[in-house]
Amino acid sequence: MSEIRILNPDTLGKPLGQYSQITRVKASEFLFIAGQVATDKTGNPVGLDDFSRQCEQVFANIEAALASQAATFANVVEFTTYLVHSQDIPQFMQFRRREFPRFFPSGKYPPNTLLIVDRLVQEPFLIEVQTVAAL
């Protein structure tokens, strides 16, 4: 059983969104989840041109990946988020403000690194999130 502490030391700046600066984790078992994009169970893209819908699907996929190993968002130690359009950053912030309190009822949001890249594996995908979790 892991011991996960999500921390915002006051020697560091206030996080610029719904994330924390540090996870300190004592664990002997980890999950590495491939970057999730907005695909349904058949592997087809969903939410074409709909960034908010893609966010929902991506986090639903991460939740399913965690659940398959009897884990929840509380097990997440790190996210890395890749967006294709910097114009979507405000919507991503909004999505987290709206949904993260439900995903993370403790109010402890894991560290996230947000990057704007050229493209993801297929043209329609607007967001991809890579996850590390501890069991």
Q: Which residues bind a copy of itself (CB under 8 A)?
A: 7, 9-17, 19-37, 39-44, 61, 64-65, 67-69, 77-78, 80, 82, 86, 89, 110-122, 128, 130, 132, 135
| Closer CB to a copy of itself, 23 or 52, in the complex | 23
Does residue 39 contact residue 65 with C-beta atoms inside 8 Å? no
CB contact set of 71 (below 8 Å; sequence gap of 6+): 31, 133, 135
User: Which residue number, 102 or 119, has a Cβ lying nearer to a copy of itself?
Assistant: 119
- Minimum CB separation of residue 49 from a copy of itself in Å reads 18
Computed over its alpha carbons, how large is the radius of gyration of the chain?
Answer: 15
Cα separation, 8 vs 43, whole angstroms: 37
**Nearest distance in Å: CB 17, a copy of itself:** 7
